[in-house]
Amino acid sequence: MMRITESYEAHAKVKPDQMAIIDEKEQITYEEWHERVQLSAQWLKETPHQQKRVAFLVSNGVPFLQLFAGAASAGWTAVPLDPRWSDKECAEKLLLSEADLVIVEDRYIKRIEKYKLDMPVLSLSEWKERISLSINVQSNKSDTEEDPAFYMGFTSGSTGSPKAFIRRQQSWIESFQMTTSVFGITHKDHVLILGTLLSSHFLYGAISTLYFGGTVTLLEKFVPEKAKKTLEKGDITAIYTVPTMTESLLQMDAFGKNPLLVLSSGADWGNSSKKQLVNRYPHITFFDFYGTSELSFVSYLSSDDFLQKPTSVGKPFPSIQVEVRRADQTVCQPNEIGRIYVKSPMSFSGYLQDGKPPEEWLTVYDMGWLDEDGYLYMSGRENGMIVYGGLNIFPEEIERVLNEQPEVNRSIVIGLPDPYWGEIPVAIIENVQQTKLIRQAVKETLAAYKVPKKWLVTDKMIETSGGKIARASMKKWAEEQLSCKQ
């Protein structure tokens, strides 16, 4: 069984001097990259362990990818931690992971040490020193597991309590094949990763590019001016992005005149923004794909498909089967809304807490429908549905209308308890002067019961590490705002 790092040796032999990774502090070639990954893997194999899990709290850059790829090469599971988590959240997830070792960027070391966890903790500088001392020590320990777990991530952070999910290497190798066959990414590409590697979307973008033998450029964090400057150099051929980042770049006219592939996922990308990209930059091809941490790729919409099916999330990837089912598990007719189920060789290996493999057909409780041509459409998430006087409202439907309004940058709709109706929809809009015209547009577009009953304005949305709006945090904020007004 191949490993996600297995191609590095060939790249190092065939093109040793080609740049593998460029970050804001260093540039390393494929020869150097292969050597660093092998060194990290060798050191881990010699490290005492029970679970073969290494957690790390490290910023975007070469060390993050080196730790991740080194763990995969050694047959270990990498557990990336987010510096933006609170101390309590970080400690809870470390305990949940049962990591054998924690490696922490020097500036964060005091945060981890105060947890007094019963696991070894190394600073990043200590780790670098230790692996440098093991250069000439050859490990006699081999990993014999056919398809080991290599990645533990945490999901559902925007809607509730995070869960730890597990991925095995073959699932990503299957995804690599889709990235080449559908998106056309190859060893010739120079890919810009705009967001944090703590998001599986951006981490996958970097690791898949290295698997193919392309060049990865990383930003330590998304700064629109830095991203524009990088694009202006003219050698970037593809970017991994999310809608909020794409919007920022559109506002700055950052895309230039060179051909570019834009790969977007992670949130609902408004039609007006897509139209703007298509009309202003005809030399750009985009793919907006629907997927989740659990399911990986599900469906994709190309810029060409967008012209024909503008409200769809696209057609299923090759090798993916999608069914939309009623509550009794019978399959819906075309254009009938139901719960979306997916059967895929790219899906995850289950949640850590469950202790059992996932079902063959998986759902993350998204609701939607398939049309007569097999294109998938989203209604919203079942557990985010608002029940207003017995009527079902999907927040995403209202958000799509809101985000189409020229005054609206970003919006979110949440359900809050109401003594009469049960729940009412509440709209939160980012950084607008007044909402009168927006309200009128919503009233003209949607059924009366779907129109938000309360409206709030915020200077800036609270975000998850992946750049999505943090729904649970925004709901709490709205509750606090409305309680103050009573």
CATH homologous superfamily for the domain 310-383: Luciferase; Domain 3 (2.30.38.10)
| Rounded CA separation 394/399 (Å) | 9
Amino acid at 63: P
| Rounded CA separation 257/381 (Å) | 38
Report H helices in 114-223.
124-133, 169-178, 200-212
Task: Return per-residue pLDDT of the chain as tens, 486 residues.
Answer: 689 999 999 999 999 999 999 999 999 999 999 999 999 999 999 999 999 999 999 999 999 999 999 999 999 999 999 887 777 778 888 988 999 999 999 999 988 877 778 889 999 999 999 998 876 445 545 556 778 899 999 875 444 456 789 999 999 999 999 999 999 999 999 999 999 999 899 999 999 999 999 999 999 999 999 999 999 999 999 999 988 899 889 999 999 899 999 999 976 788 888 999 999 999 999 999 999 888 999 999 999 999 999 999 999 999 999 999 999 999 999 999 999 999 999 999 998 877 777 889 999 888 899 999 999 998 877 778 888 877 788 898 899 899 999 999 899 999 998 877 888 999 999 999 889 999 999 999 888 889 999 999 999 999 877 678 888 889 999 999 998 766
The torsion angles phi and psi of 436, rounded to 5 degrees, stand at -60, -50
Query: What is the number of other CB atoms lying within 10 angstroms of the CB of residue 4?
Result: 24
Domain with CATH 3.40.50.12780 in the chain: 8-221
What is residue 218's predicted lDDT score, i.e. its pLDDT?
A: 98
C-alpha distances (whole Å) from 249 to each of 67, 254, 319 are 30, 5, 34
| Rounded CA separation 470/458 (Å) | 13
Q: For 385-485, which CATH class?
A: alpha beta
| Rounded CA separation 411/474 (Å) | 11
Cβ atoms of 109 and 101 within 8 Å: the answer is no
| Rounded CA separation 368/336 (Å) | 8
| Rounded CA separation 357/230 (Å) | 42
From the number of C-beta atoms within 10 Å of its C-beta (0-12, 13-18, 19+), residue 177 rates as middle
What is residue 162's predicted lDDT score, i.e. its pLDDT?
A: 63
Coil/strand/helix, residue 468: coil
Query: What is the number of other CB atoms lying within 10 angstroms of the CB of residue 345?
Result: 14
pTM for the model stands at: 0.85
CA proximity to 177, closest of 344, 361, 56, 313: 344
Cβ atoms of 156 and 82 within 8 Å: the answer is no
Which tokens is 272 given? 């007006």
| Rounded CA separation 441/447 (Å) | 12
From the number of C-beta atoms within 10 Å of its C-beta (0-12, 13-18, 19+), residue 19 rates as middle
Domain with CATH 3.30.300.30 in the chain: 385-485
Query: What is the number of other CB atoms lying within 10 angstroms of the CB of residue 143?
Result: 16
Domain with CATH 2.30.38.10 in the chain: 310-383
Partners of 78 in the β-ladder: 54, 151
| Rounded CA separation 280/391 (Å) | 40
What is residue 243's predicted lDDT score, i.e. its pLDDT?
A: 86
Name residue, tokens 């089967």.
Answer: 321
Give CATH for domain 8-221: 3.40.50.12780
Neighbouring C-alpha atoms within 13 Å toward the C-beta of 373: 9
| Rounded CA separation 242/268 (Å) | 9
From the number of C-beta atoms within 10 Å of its C-beta (0-12, 13-18, 19+), residue 98 rates as middle
